[in-house]
Amino acid sequence: MFNEMYADLENLNDLMMSFSNAIVIQVAMDEELAPFLAATEQAQPSFTEGVAKFYPRYLMFEEDQVPLLLVRSKIGLVNAASAVTEAINYATNCLGVISAGTAGGLAQHINVGDIVLGSNYLYADADATIFGYERGQIPGMPVSYGDRDSDWEEAIEAALSALKSAQEEGSWAVHQGRMLAGNSFVTEYNVKDTREAFDTALSTDMETTAIAQICSNYDVSFMAVRCISDLCGPAADQEFHLSVDVVAPRSARYALQIAAELWTQQELPALELNLED
């Protein structure tokens, strides 16, 4: 059955061998995928499984290359979870999973164009408090997912240092902390309740927590790198929307830099990235 499902992939065994330790990068939309394709080179033909599309790519540098398995999952918790599960079945010794793309700004100090680096993840619309669980917690599962390990912390520190000049020139902020995901948009109608229930949460989207749960189940490290495209409850003087064509490349820039730094921790040559915002 497995071989029949992938009859259109000529070198499946080669893919699984050469990409066993790849870094998986998930995005939901084609617009979020585009800057990653522009910054990398094809390693194997892309292929489709269900609604998801997979792109084995190389991030090139000097005499070496970083294997990335890009995944365009489509929007939503189930789409993201199933696509990333498939990806880590290919990359059996995956160095880590990054969820990139856009997000909605939830915290009142967040602005459009800002970068949010996730440290832990909850479900925005999970509520089993009647049974004694915390808001955002699925019954029988942890309250949150995705506490970053030392490898991520070192990679993030190096990436932020490398991108500091670009950040200062572009005048966006970088935030680190809690992210939410759910099946419903947070809008002006429910933003007050969401902020009160999750008073430290920075952003909301429709994929990250599901991916964090999958990675927790499979003991794979995870983080999200999202750029804020919209504000859930903007103040009167705040700009509340930026085009995906602006924010997707910024998210990709940070995600690729962090992936590069994570890879170089494996005692490999340093990467030289030339990524434009």
Active site residues: 32, 230
Structure tokens given for 10: 């000529």
C-alpha to C-alpha distance for 106 and 202, rounded to whole angstroms: 5
d(CA 63, CA 143): 44
In terms of Cα–Cα distance, which of 72, 80, 76 is closest to 56? 72
Q: Are 94 and 86 in contact (CB under 8 A)?
A: no
CB 41 within 8 A of CB 108: no
With contact defined as beta carbons under 8 Å apart, do 90 and 19 qualify?
A: yes
Which residues, in sequence order, are CB contacts of 131 under 8 Å at separation 6+?
A: 139
Please list the residues that pair with 69 across neighbouring strands.
Answer: 24, 56
User: 3-state DSSP call for residue 34?
Assistant: helix
DSSP 63-83: TEEEEEEEEE--SSHHHHHHH
CA-based R_g, the chain, Å: 18
Residue 221, CB-side half-sphere exposure with 13 Å CA sphere: 17
CA–CA separation, 125 and 182 (whole Å): 6
